[in-house]
Amino acid sequence: MKTLGLLGGMSWESTATYYRLLNEAVRDRCGGLHSAKLLLASVDFAPIAGMMRADRWHEAGVSLSQSARVLEGAGAEALVLCTNTLHKVAPQIEAAVSIPLLHIVDPTAAAITAAGFERVGLIATRFTMEAEFYVDRLRQRGLEPLIPGESDRIEIHRIIFEELVLGRVLEVSRRALQQAIARLAARGAQGVIFGCTEIGLLLAAADSPLPVFDTTVLHAASAADWALEP
């Protein structure tokens, strides 16, 4: 079993989900008392979030690259960046280390293709929905991402940063996400990507009007597969 280095804390709520999913995957695959070999660098999210809001992405990349080098030095054999939005600086992190970064979009795109879908909605932070780094990687894999309208993007972003990263789960926000997904379905979306690692804390797949591709679940499963490859 190989050792995974988790870059977490963005937010710690979803990082805890990664930790659970990775250990459950190893337990289920290996049986007995087996658990995942993990190293965790959990950052203070407040400074990173401030850099994001101020469009100081390079500084965020420098900070995360430092943590990535610490993980590599401690023995990590691959990196798992436990957030969607900060994959905007994934190339910067990759350039700072010699071990692979297991990109969150790749297993997500593979699952969508395996389901036979091409046109999929994307709900996430505004940084992820409105920048090209995420949707371009989906397009490169033959997919057609749809992002919500302006008012939905504003509300989804607010729910993530004012509620979910603080551990607040509100029924009114669950309904708001369901309505946003329904509007994507009306535009022809065949499924929806939970493109923020906290969304699954609020909305289960059974609650969605469309088939769900939860990036946290898919990313963790793919990372467990990598760790357990001979």
Give whole-number Cα distances, 135 to 119, 138, 201, in Å.
12, 5, 23
> Can you state the angle between helices 150-162 and 171-186, rounded to 10 degrees?
150
Q: Are 119 and 146 in contact (CB under 8 A)?
A: yes
Instruction: Read off φ and ψ for residue 54, nearest 5 degrees.
Output: -90, 5
Strands annotated E in 104-195: 119-123, 144-146, 191-194
Has 196 been annotated as catalytic? yes
CB neighbour burial string for 37-46, b if at least 16 within 10 angstroms, e if fewer: ebbbbbbebe
Using alpha carbons, select from 168, 176, 172 the residue that is nearest to residue 201. Answer: 168
Set 15, 128, 196, 216: catalytic member: 196
Set 15, 17, 82, 83: catalytic member: 83
How many Å separate Cα 39 from the centre of its chain? 18
- The tokens for 100 are 């692979």
How many Å separate Cα 53 from the centre of its chain? 18
In angstroms, rounded to a whole number, what is the distance separating the alpha carbons of residues 179 and 79? 35
Helix, strand, or coil (residue 101): strand
Has 82 been annotated as catalytic? no
Residues labelled catalytic? 83, 196
